[in-house]
Amino acid sequence: MGFDALVRQFEALFPACDPPRLCRAPGRVNLIGEHLDYNGLPVLPVAMGEEVRVAFAPADDGRIELRNMNPAYATAVFANTAEIPPSDGGAWENYVKAAVQGINRALDAKAFPGMKLLVDSNLPAHAGLSSSSALVVASAMAYLGVFEAAHAISLDRIALAECLARAEHYVGTQGGGMDQAAILCGKRGHAVKVDFFPLRIERVPMINDVAVVVCDSLVSANKTGDALLKYNAGPASCRLATALVEHQLREDFGGDIQLKRLGDLWYGHLCLTHQEAHDLCMSAIPDARTTVADVGRRLGLTAETVRETWLGAVPEPQGGFRLRARLRHIISEFRRVETARDALLAGEAEMLGELFNASHISCAEDYEISCPALDALAAACRDAGALGARLTGAGFGGAVVSLVPCDRTESFLKALAGSFYRRIPFLAERPPWSVVRVSNGASYV
């Protein structure tokens, strides 16, 4: 729906309000660099044309009222206070609550204004395209619009991206900051290389005659539902691995070396080379599987302390965690991001395609975030003429991103319709793929 229709609908729903203001927040497609952000290692996403759109106006009753153009999302109302209690399970208003509470905390708010919000979106949910973070960013911009009108306070984009990455933990996932950074700092025709802690952005021009195509596997991965623990197992495994690598560093070099996250091996005081970091990680975690009891023995802690300190609700898999494989993915994916950025700058599309393929294998075999449908779809995309194809986003379902020469896009989509999508009914006006329009970040309209 266009913005005019959104305004008309807002006025019909909230006749007593001021005329609404508007903002938009795009989805994002991660080109490469999966599950690196929470480790403090770089990623390379783009902001896409599909977006969340919001019409908003202040309300003087201190309550936030949300409506959605999609009737699947029920109306929600909550009081804006210093501590906003979350609604049950994966309720959609939790993303708005996350944004409002995050801004209140960042601005150390003493007053809590009310707001009416009408949301529309053409981004598919649970497809690995960050529809949830787009809603968080759009709601935050709306709330900042209301807040600023009242208090003339602002946050810059980088500060806002960092604030909202923390704020989204409210919904229960322990993600990094890739989505919020890409959504806020995207630029038309450019990929965004994002580095973390502190957040840094480099815009890298896309290659002119190559299209980015996302295809939905139609397996839904709901990260505040079924996929929550599967997703959080990634950060939890990395926290365990970090503790073991820190212990190894202290044994090798003595002293009280602190390793907050894996990325600190390359950045900060340590500045290891890729080879040094690789060798250190492999010697810290020599076995294919590591149990909680193994970690306890190594660090001189009880199993209970290990669970409480690093795992939280994430259960130990039968036989232990595959920490060595997880580290192999993190280290090799980091190198692929650096090489992909150079390949983009040099216009080397084939090289980028090869990196996509290698990333998919690493995500599937070493990080175990793929599923049969994603593997089949990535293979079908390669058969249909992609230079490379890989799952994108958290995984466990969702989308595959492919790199396709522009003059082959039509035949690529035709081939896919006849292969992977052959037995799947879909509406011609809403196909399960999208040729990505690499877009600007979120804005007021």
Which residues have a catalytic role annotated?
179
Residues across the chain: 445
Stretch that binds ligand NG1, among 34-42, 150-158, 208-216, 347-355 (CB under 6 A): 34-42
Comparison of 34 and 246: residue with beta carbon closer to ligand NG1: 34
Closer residue to ligand NG1, CB minimum distance, 47 or 280:
47
Minimum separation from the CB atom of position 94 to ligand NG1 (A): 12
Strand 114-121 to 63-68 pairing: parallel
List helix spans (H) across 107-177: 131-151, 157-167
Q: Are 400 and 408 in contact (CB under 8 A)?
A: no
Q: Is 35 in the site for ligand NG1 (CB under 6 A)?
A: yes
Residue 215 CA to residue 195 CA, distance in Å, equals: 27
CB of 26 to ligand NG1, least distance (A): 13
Nearer to ligand NG1, 58 or 235 (CB): 235
The alpha carbon of residue 115 and the mean position of all alpha carbons in its chain are separated, in whole angstroms, by 27
State the DSSP code for 290. B
Q: Which secondary structure element, helix H or strand E, spans residue 234, and what is its range?
A: helix 228-253
Token digits for 288? 């294919």
CB of 28 to ligand NG1, least distance (A): 7
Residue in this structure with the two tokens 């292969």, named with its chain if needed? 419
Instruction: Name the residue among 194, 67, 66, 81 with its Cα closest to residue 130.
Output: 194
Q: How far is the CB of 32 from ligand NG1 (least distance, A)?
A: 10
Q: Least distance to ligand NG1 from the beta carbon of 174, Å? A: 7
Those residues whose C-beta lies under 8 Å from the C-beta of residue 42, and which sit 6 or more positions away, are 33, 36, 193, 194, 195, 196, 334, 337, 338
Phi-psi region of 163 (alpha: psi -120 to 50; beta: other; left: phi over 0): alpha
Which residue in the block uniquely carries the two structure tokens 């783009």? 46
Footprint of ligand NG1 on residues 109-148 (CB under 6 A)? 128, 130, 133
Nearer to ligand NG1, 358 or 394 (CB): 394
Distance, in Å, from the CA atom of 43 to the CA atom of 8, rounded to the nearest integer, reads 39
**Binding segment (CB under 6 A) for ligand NG1, from list 171-179, 282-290, 295-303, 306-314:** 171-179
Number of chain residues interacting with ligand NG1 (CB under 6 A): 17
Task: Out of 102, 175, 186, 353, point to the residue binding ligand NG1 (CB under 6 A).
Answer: 175
397: contact with ligand NG1 by CB under 6 A? no
Q: Which CB sits closer to ligand NG1, 33 or 58? A: 33
Binding mask 194-233 for ligand NG1 (x = CB under 6 A): -----------------------------x----------
Binding residues (CB under 6 A) for ligand NG1: these are 30, 34-35, 37-38, 128, 130, 133, 168, 173, 175-176, 178-179, 223, 393-394
